[in-house]
Chains A and B, each alone.
Chain A
Amino acid sequence: MEQVIVNGIYSGVQYALIALGLTLIFALMNVLNFAHGQMYVLGAFVTYYIYGVLGMPFFVGLLATAATLCLVGVAFEKLLFRPVLRRSSREESSMLLAAGTALLLESLILIVFGEKHRGVPSVASGVLRIGDAYVPYGRLLVIVLSTLLIVAFILYMQYTRPGRALRALAQDREAAQLQGVDVDFYSMIGFAMGAVLAGLSGAMLVSISGVNSGLGTWISIKAFIMVMIGGAGVVSGAIIGGLILGMLESFGYQFLPGGETYLVIFIGLIIFLSLRPQGLMGKPWG
């Protein structure tokens, strides 16, 4: 049972980090970023080349990933989403655009990085025993780094001027603008942060799970499940949603090995959303 709980914590923390970026972009721009999983994949490939191919330190890979995804986020917001959101008030326009960007990124990643699954050497070797549970040091490092990133993100949003501006933007765009918040600039910052969070998740996990060009869709689906559980656009909801999904997966694979795990999760999600459509932490009015 210790192993099941440790597995759940590991999955939950990484899922929480993945969901954070998605919920941030949704909160700021009301955009469901279908390309979130592809941004995760791109981040993983950047670290693969910096750390795995060029042999530079892992943390240089993380920095390069953050820089690359920041640029991608800025470009997506400024060149694609901002003009569309300005011209069209229909929500499906941004949804279709987001779906298009997902396909675009996935195709580009396949063309540039190829079809093979890629991986890098473990950042930390060895396995820690906690009771009956096995915890490889590489996974422990991911748990620690992910937790630090989540804490840093919360502190940034809570106690810095840009963080307050981003929260104001998420609560009420017009009111924030009336208070002097540069909504275009902070939308761009928020989108870039969301992309960086997705990329860093991929970068950290490439040393554990590797990456391939087709992984993005499944990462996005899981991220959406987490956000739906926790409440769309709510930071605490994304974290709780990630931890819940991690635990559900871990216990599911232990007690329902025949492929019913995700069937049960989806049925549970349907029932849950019919009772509480705003998710655990979301407000009923949005």
Chain B
Amino acid sequence: MFNRRSVLKSFAVGSLSALALFASTGGHAANKTLKIGVLGVMSGSAASWGLVNRYCAETTAGLINAGGGIDIGGDKYDIEIIAIDDRNDPKVAVSGAERLAYEEGIRYIIGPNIDTTAAAIVPVVEKAGAMNFPYAFSKDLYTPPRSNSVLGMIASYQAGPVIYKHLMENEGVKRVAFVSRNESDSLNQREEGVAAAERLGLEVVSASDTYEAGTTDFFPVISRIVGGEPDLIVLSGVAPSDAPLIIKSARELGYQGLISTETAQDAKILAEVAGDAADGFISVGGASTESIRTAEMEAFIEAYKAHVGEWNDEAGTKVYALDIILATLQKAGAAAIDDVGQFKAAMADLQVPNPYVNDGRSLQYVGSSYFQQPRQISVPMVVNVYRDGGFETLFVGSVE
């Protein structure tokens, strides 16, 4: 009835214990310890966003520790992940960041997940001399005078225009409708998407439809949109829990057109909730489709499954943060563990092979054309289409 993860968690009560067990299998007494923070939403309706960040970091740390640790400046380090749930609340995010920075002495934090929590911790991160890797899209976080935050994934305003253009040229899309959750992140993503669609010459037939968090019945929301007869419905910033419900409702209402989103989704959730109705759904994915992943990604997926119990396709976009933090520390040297100034200096020309995608791209810091400085991880822009229970890669692009 329960998968391994469920049973493990039921008895261990909390994955910090699981982490300790997991990490200790490869831990070495002689090694030093490098603590990395994960701060994000790990409970409530958006729990998967922060938990996937945490599971990715824990999985990577477990693999590194099992391999004897990581060499930074001639010393071997085991990685310890300290994870805090910010409950999607800016106040809790601030106290979490303070705890990570001051009590734990952590200088590198993965997260938070949304604009409000990411913006709330900026003063804490800057004052404490720390850096963070949010999964929030607000450009203010990454643009001068800010310099301590690095975007951890592809933003909707980067992927959206590429997807719309592809669909215009290959599917003849002319009319587009947008639907978003009534929250600041989703609304911002919708505004960016609408602007991009208009720049491309698309007719925007609906740009104001929203739904409240916690909505379970999308018929009332989607009926109006389907009535506008768009060729494409864009789901702006929708959570993986909402996307399949919206898709299913649209298909049941007789909608035959295309549906896309600029956020990462999970194939299993789509299969369970929307079933065949999700066939043809386009989303931004990570390094998890078979056609593009490396043997190292295969190993990561197996380790993730062993740690968590099942794979989540969202993890394909979130696997990079800890890797690039450690690669930068290796380049900058041990002093950068406590001095983010040296870390920033090493960011400028860092270039290491992307271990997870097999197209020869490198892992580096990009984003200068959006943020006037390289404050984004070069996560590949993998655009997937859902078919027959899984994702297939349509094409792979890049930010720069």
Contact = CB atoms under 8 A, between A and B. Distances in A.
A76 to B, nearest CB: 20
B214 A221 contact: yes
A156 interface: no
Interface in B198-234: 206, 208-217, 219-221, 223-224
B240 interface: yes
A59 interface: no
Interface in B253-278: 253-254, 266, 268-269, 272-275
Contact of B220 (A52, A111, A213, A253): A253
Interface in A123-137: 127, 134, 136
A284 interface: no
Interface in B1-20: 1-2, 5-6, 9-10, 13-14
A136 B43 CA distance: 32
A30 to B, nearest CB: 27
B220 A112 contact: no
21 contacts: A3-B223, A10-B217, A10-B219, A11-B219, A14-B217, A117-B240, A117-B273, A119-B269, A119-B272, A209-B216, A209-B217, A213-B47, A214-B45, A214-B46, A214-B47, A215-B45, A218-B45, A218-B212, A219-B214, A250-B220, A257-B210
Top 6 A-B pairs, shortest CB-CB distance: A218-B214, A119-B273, A117-B241, A214-B45, A214-B44, A209-B216
B307 to A, nearest CB: 13
Nearest to A121: B275
B219 A258 contact: no
A276 B90 CA distance: 36
B208 A257 contact: yes
A235 B214 CA distance: 25
A162 interface: no
Contacts of A213: 43, 47
B182 interface: yes
A184 to B, nearest CB: 32
B332 interface: no
A101 interface: no
B312 to A, nearest CB: 7
Contacts of A209: 216-217, 245
A4 B220 contact: yes
B62 interface: no
Interface of A: 3-4, 7-8, 10-11, 14, 49, 52-54, 106-107, 110-122, 127, 134, 136, 139, 205, 208-210, 212-215, 217-219, 221-222, 249-250, 252-254, 257-259, 261-262
B48 A257 contact: no
Contacts of B46: 214
Contact of B224 (A115, A217, A254): A254
| Chain B, interface residues (CB within 8 Å), range | 35 or more
A134 B253 contact: yes
A11 B220 CA distance: 9
A219 B2 CA distance: 25
A269 B59 CA distance: 48
Contact of A116 (B182, B215, B223, B268): B268
A197 to B, nearest CB: 17
A253 B214 contact: no
Contacts of A118: 269, 272-273
Contacts of A52: 272
A107 B87 CA distance: 12
Contacts of B212: 218, 259, 261-262
Contacts of B214: 215, 217-219, 221-222
Most buried by B among A53, A106, A218, A219: A218
Contacts of A252: 220
Contacts of A136: 252
B224 A253 contact: yes
A209 to B, nearest CB: 4
A14 B217 CA distance: 10
Contacts of A254: 220, 223-224
Interface string B142-173: 00000000000000000000000000000000
